[in-house]
Amino acid sequence: MVQIYRFAAVRPERRYAEEIPSVPYDVVTAEEARECIEKNPLSFLRVSRPDAELPDLPPHDDRVYQRAREVFLSMLEDGLMAQDPQAGMYVYRAVQDGEEFVGLVCCVGTEDYENRRIRRHELTRYDKEEDRTRHIDVVGANTGLVFLLYRDPGGIFPYVHSLIGEAEPDGSTTTASGVLHQVYRFTDETTLSRLEGLFANVPEVYIADGHHRAKSAVNVAERRRSEGRFTEEAGKFMAVLFAHDRVRIHGYSRLVTDLGNYTLPGLVDALFAAGWEIRPYRNVDSSGYQITPLAAGDVPMHVMHFYLQGTWYEAARPVRDPTDLIGSLDVSVLQKDVLEGMLGIADPRGDPRLHYMGGAKPLSALEKLVDSGEYAFAVAMQPVPVETVLAIADANGVMPPKSTWFEPKLLSGLVIHTIA
């Protein structure tokens, strides 16, 4: 069973709670982070993305990580942030486009990651792992939240949601895109014991977002243990637990710079010859995030939508082996049969001809990039069912890169877990 832990978070003082929280470190480049910091000098990006303020240094220079620690400590010393006086747990509430998301902020153990009670569905990259490992170790804190999912055996989500009731949040901020993020703190023994008891009935949890943050926390625990610097808190990392049916998942769109050796009619003919039914899709609502499939039938179908030369096309064909959890994903078939098989894009992680756009952007954003001539075509993907993601993780499988886009996107700097 999964064990959850209390912790005394570092949080912005109430009068700074609107300004300090920031987007996660990995959704902005160093240049974009620098621009955010110039507009808001209190932004937590100064801690989570320290290379933004040190453009003359290599991004992984020791001095970059030391700068993150110095800024974090100065925020504490200057009274911008403070550590709660006693350990507790926190409820994270986000409201986006009128939809409410509520999860529990707590710590989980690195041992549960190692024994697969915390399950994952993505590979991690060593360079990204090492960056966050050094960041956590030098700063002495988990500065970003890991997004976890749990299957609710009954009663967990209603209880977590009931805690906020009419309470006032202990921290609140609204992003430029209008998403409200709030944190509520709970320290009474009755509540905390009830939460711990409820999650004692959950056999495993699943990483939705934050694979590198989780693995890096495990690395820090191992490194500190081997060097005689281990602390109890270093064996834990900070997470938000959401019920798996209380989150939003989008497809992850693809953008391709050219058609290879094909013309538009030639590509359509090649897809048709490979068993795809191709038809124009009229009257697409480009303000939306995905396209409702035209294809329907009694068998599972692959469905994806191509945008090229000003027109949307639906490509559909039956799934050949529904029992193959990974091979039957739309993203797997797109990569193997189309991007690699037809266009020669063999490396979905590194080929410069292939780019990605998170599913939280409207279809009009894809249209604009293709219409500008920057890309030859775009592919809008259908979201992968959450149950499929969990089933792949249960089978110890690995999904292709950029398969899922989970929401809500959690802010950094609302709560921090210290490990020093």
Q: 1-15, 148-162, 195-209, 295-309: which has the minimum mean pLDDT?
A: 295-309
pLDDT exceeds cutoff 90 at 238: yes
Please, which pLDDT band fits residue 420 given cuts at 50, 70 and 90?
confident
- pLDDT at residue 193 in the model: 98
At 194 the three-state DSSP class reads helix
pLDDT, tens digit, for every residue of 353-399? 999 998 778 999 999 999 999 999 999 999 999 999 999 999 999 99
Angle of helix 62-77 relative to helix 126-139, nearest 10 degrees?
40
pLDDT above 80 (res 338): yes
In DSSP notation, 162-184 reads HHHTTPPPSEEEE-TT--EEEEE
**Any alpha helices (H) in 116-179, and if so which ranges?**
126-139, 156-164
- Check residue 53 and give its pLDDT: 97
What the block records as the tokens of 264 is 């538009």
Q: 126-139 and 211-226 helices cross at what angle (nearest 10)?
A: 60
> Cα–Cα distance between 21 and 257 in angstroms, integer?
35
Structure tokens at 128: 């990204």
pLDDT at 226: 97
79: tokens are: 């009274």
Per-residue pLDDT tens digits for 282-293: 999 999 989 999
Count of Cβ atoms closer than 10 Å to residue 77 Cβ? 9
- Is 0.75 topped by the overall pTM? yes
**Under CATH, to which class is 252-382 assigned?**
alpha beta
Question: Please, which residues have CB within 8 angstroms of residue 187's CB and are 6 or more apart in sequence?
Answer: 84, 86, 87, 88
CB 388 within 8 A of CB 249: no
Q: What is the mean pLDDT of residues 149-163?
A: 96
| Per-residue model confidence (pLDDT) at position 356 | 93
- Percent of the chain predicted with pLDDT > 90: 92
Closest to 142 measured CA to CA, from 109, 117, 181, 120: 109
Domain ranges of the chain: 4-249+407-418, 252-382
Residue 349 confidence (pLDDT)? 83
Least trusted range by pLDDT, from 23-37, 52-66, 194-208, 284-298: 284-298
pLDDT at 192: 98
pLDDT the model gives residue 358: 83
Query: Which amino acid is residue 144, in one-letter code?
Result: G
Computed over every residue of the chain, the mean pLDDT equals: 95
Mean pLDDT of 195-215: 96
User: What's the sign of the alpha-carbon dihedral 149, 154, 157, 163?
Assistant: negative
Res 67 pLDDT > 80: yes
Closest CA to 46 of 87, 81, 9, 95: 81
C-beta separation of 113 from 100 below 8 A: no
Average pLDDT score over residue span 179-192: 98
